[in-house]
């Protein structure tokens, strides 16, 4: 089961940028059937995720300003649906639309065991 963290405040981006563990941001439009399908597929692959990775869910209809800030900060064009992997303050992987595959994203996660 996917452990979504609602991304509803721009200040949460500071936590994501400074976190020592990887974070995933899933940008989702509740009005788009392609986005709905991508979200369902993403959730089906949830067991592939290392448990220490935080997974944020951004509702683009309610929080478009946060999505714009993400696009500006990491210099990645806004798309929906879209997934970003943030590690050490950098976006190390992103995909949009039908290219969103959690199995592919997981290959890019760097988890340091301590």
How far apart are alpha carbons 61 and 112 in whole angstroms?
A: 35
Residue with tokens 């696009």: 71
What's domain 4-106's architecture?
3-Layer(aba) Sandwich (3.40)
Domain boundaries, the chain: 4-106
Mean pLDDT of 99-112: 89
Burial class (CB in 10 A: 0-12, 13-18, 19+), 101: middle
Q: Which tens digits make up the pLDDT trace of 9-57?
A: 999 999 999 999 999 999 999 898 999 999 999 999 999 999 899 999 9
């Amino acid at each position: 089961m996917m452990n979504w963290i609602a991304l509803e405040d721009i200040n949460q981006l500071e936590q994501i940028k400074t976190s020592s563990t990887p974070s995933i941001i899933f940008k989702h439009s509740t009005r788009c059937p392609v986005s709905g399908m991508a979200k369902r597929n993403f959730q089906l692959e949830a067991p592939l995720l290392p448990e220490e990775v935080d997974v944020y869910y951004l509702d683009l209809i309610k929080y478009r300003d946060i999505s714009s800030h993400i696009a500006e900060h990491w210099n990645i064009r806004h798309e929906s649906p879209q997934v970003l992997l943030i590690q050490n303050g950098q976006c190390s992987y992103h995909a949009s639309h039908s290219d969103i595959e959690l199995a592919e994203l997981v290959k890019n996660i760097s988890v340091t065991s301590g």
